[in-house]
Amino acid sequence: MIRNTQAGSTVLRRAPFGPADVGVMLGALVLLALVAKVGAGALVSFEPNKAVPHVDLDPQNLWYYAARSTLRMFIALSWSIVFALVYGYVAARSRRAERLLIPLLDILQSVPVLGFLSITVTGFIALFPGRLLGLELASIFAIFTAQAWNMAFAFYQALRSIPHELDEAATLYGLSSWQRFVQLEIPSAMIPLVWNAMMSFGGGWFFLAASEAISVLNQHYTLPGVGSYVAAAIVAKDVPALGWAIVTIVSVIIAVDQLFWRPLVAWSDRFRLEQSAAASPPRSWVYTMIRNSSVPAYIARALQPVSDWFGLRLSQLTMKRPRGRQMLSGATIDAIYQVVSIVAVMALAAVALDFILRTVGIAEVTKVVGLGFATLGRVLLLLVVATLVWTPVGVAIGFNPALARAAQPIVQLLASFPANFIFPLATLAFIAYHIPINWGCIALMALGSQWYILFNTIAGAQSIPTELREMTSDLEVRGWLKWRRLIIPGIFASWVTGAITASGGAWNASIVSEVVSWGSTTLTATGLGTYIADATANGDWARITLGISVMSVFVVVINGFVWRRLYRFAEDRYAP
């Protein structure tokens, strides 16, 4: 700091260039250099079955593999955020679009990562012949499918939960759709969006091995990364290599938490919808350094004219104008929409029936439906146990900032750690202790899906205004009464979002949880996940399509009859 004395008074002003500025600029330069060095590996030559990348189990290569995997994760996260904002906004703001987009989102989240890979790998490779970039994009797209759906659900739910008085105030002030989006809707959704992005990022780690060591349609592709390193270690039965991979991934998760997620959580606390600030807001040394630096302010001032110009143009384009006379009434449009939807569903059903009769047959369909009920039982048991265990934990973390600071890195590590990395060790334990894989796979599925409930519960608890919590404490409202009057109404919509995405994540995780292996030893459970995994590995398009279709039907029916009704109940009963 520099003291500047004028007219007998001492004025303190920030030094024009300080340690925080040095730290921010050095960090930015190091990040750019790492991205350039690691990203260059995506442009090397690649020809299927000829010039194919090789994964070396030497632990010295792990830092580079981990950097490649982390870069893919962040690219996928960036596209997932864009998708979530657009998709969630359209679904929340248009009732007609909602009736199409939300069931479609149910279907998308039920399609396994392997199902997307079966369709996209060949196409992406064809887009960039002779280059590894096509396979890189296929891997990034697979990670995207493990991240995007949860975030879209979270943003959609947050928009539907905006307090009515704020929505009415935006209308009274005549805000354009763009102004409403950036001044009301994004800030209102920021806390659940950040926590769900954190959870989605962890979900991407879970499917990292499947997206880097790709085996589809009798073709095997390998990308340099920590996921493919683990896959190679499993095949080679190299326990030390597997141990080094686990140490590396834990180190990466901790670094990402400290350098990215913790600052983001501290920044998002400014968007709490309440009059009083949190008693003890989340803190981050990185966020503090950025705030103390002048570099972000300089950049913001330099970009301010461009930002203002775009904001003005978008506001003008999205300003509500008086509606002209409509040729068709709303009831007529709804009727047309219903007819088109019914015709589309009937057409799809006819195509599916023709496919079944010409390829697999009715007997195969009956078998696959039975396998679907077996996996459904595991999913329901998982949801019940995860709700009973993690909802109280999430509320405790969300209500206690000090506990949140201590628990966030632990929760982030547990949620982000790719549990399928320890599946080989679980396989050995199942064999040693004679644990049936039909039951053991439930625990494996839980490792990849239960965290959706925890993270959404934390976000819901943090969104409950501090004054309401303080009021219940002053009135000595405790126990079940506090849960019934404050906690359940405050977190219910968030819990529903977590349960939906946990359900979809469990169905997806069944693909890698119902079939586990160590070397030449493979354990398979009876279920739909095993069926799809086998069909994908064998390149059996008919059975891949049948398995994914049956899984999608299960998810859509359950979401329509259970979760959608719970959403409406939350809006009608607990709307702010």
What residue type is assigned to position 461 of the chain? A
Where in the chain are the domains? 18-42+53-273+361-574
Q: What is the pLDDT of residues 82-125, one digit of tens each?
A: 999 999 999 988 877 887 888 788 777 767 666 666 677 777 87
Dihedral angle sign, alpha carbons of residues 9, 10, 11, 15: positive
Residue 559 zone, left/alpha/beta (φ > 0; ψ -120 to 50; rest): alpha
Q: What is the pLDDT of residues 224-251, one digit of tens each?
A: 888 888 878 877 878 888 889 888 988 9
Dihedral angle sign, alpha carbons of residues 473, 474, 478, 480: negative
H helical segments located in 219-361: 226-236, 239-256, 262-268, 285-292, 295-317, 330-355
**The pLDDT of residue 122:** 75
CATH assignment of 18-42+53-273+361-574, given 3.90.470.10, 1.10.150.80, 2.60.120.10, 1.10.3720.10? 1.10.3720.10
488-513 and 541-558 are packed helices; what angle lies between their axes, rounded to 10 degrees?
Answer: 160
Q: What's the rounded mean pLDDT across residues 469-494?
A: 84
Query: What's phi and psi for 37, nearest 5 deg?
Result: -70, -45
Among 153-157, 197-201, 273-277, 548-552, where is mean pLDDT lowest? Answer: 273-277
2-6 and 213-216 strand pairing: unpaired
Here the tokens at position 370 are: 């039975």
**Residue 372 contacts residue 438 (beta carbons within 8 Å):** no
Question: In sequence order, which residues have a C-beta less than 8 Å from that of residue 303 and are 6 or more positions away?
Answer: none
Question: In sequence order, which residues have a C-beta less than 8 Å from that of residue 41 and are 6 or more positions away?
Answer: 68, 132, 224
Question: In sequence order, which residues have a C-beta less than 8 Å from that of residue 21 and are 6 or more positions away?
Answer: 293, 294, 295
**Residue 377 contacts residue 540 (beta carbons within 8 Å):** no
pLDDT of 60 over the 60 cut: yes
Here the tokens at position 67 are: 């950097």
Please compute, for residue 508, the number of CA atoms within 13 A of its CA located in the half-sphere on the CB side. Answer: 34
What DSSP assignment string belongs to 192-245?
HHHHHHHHHHHHHHHTHHHHHEEEETTEEEE-SSHHHHHHHHHHHT-HHHHHHH
Confidence of residue 295 (pLDDT cuts 50, 70, 90): confident
**Residue 493 contacts residue 572 (beta carbons within 8 Å):** no
Here the tokens at position 458 are: 């934390």
pLDDT of 387 over the 90 cut: yes
Q: Percentage of the chain surpassing pLDDT 70?
A: 86
Distance CA 239, CA 225 (A): 18
**The pLDDT of residue 7:** 42
Distance CA 63, CA 61 (A): 6
Q: What is the pLDDT of residues 360-381, one digit of tens each?
A: 888 888 999 999 999 999 999 9
**The pLDDT of residue 50:** 58
Here the tokens at position 361 are: 């047959």
**Residue 62 contacts residue 244 (beta carbons within 8 Å):** yes
Between the CA of residue 19 and those of 14, 272, 293, 296, 300, what are the distances in Å? Answer: 12, 30, 8, 14, 20
Query: Highest-confidence range of 13-27, 178-192, 503-517, by mean pLDDT?
Result: 178-192
CA gyration radius, the chain: 25
**Residue 512 contacts residue 213 (beta carbons within 8 Å):** no
For 19, other C-beta atoms within 10 Å of its C-beta total: 11
pLDDT of 323 over the 70 cut: no
Query: What's phi and psi for 328, nearest 5 deg?
Result: -120, 140
pLDDT of 522 over the 70 cut: yes
Q: What share of the chain is helix, strand, coil (3-state, %, to 5)?
A: 80, 5, 15
**Residue 112 contacts residue 551 (beta carbons within 8 Å):** yes
Here the tokens at position 53 are: 């990348």
Query: Highest-confidence range of 11-25, 287-301, 464-478, by mean pLDDT?
Result: 287-301
Distance CA 35, CA 78 (A): 15
213-216 and 219-222 strand pairing: antiparallel
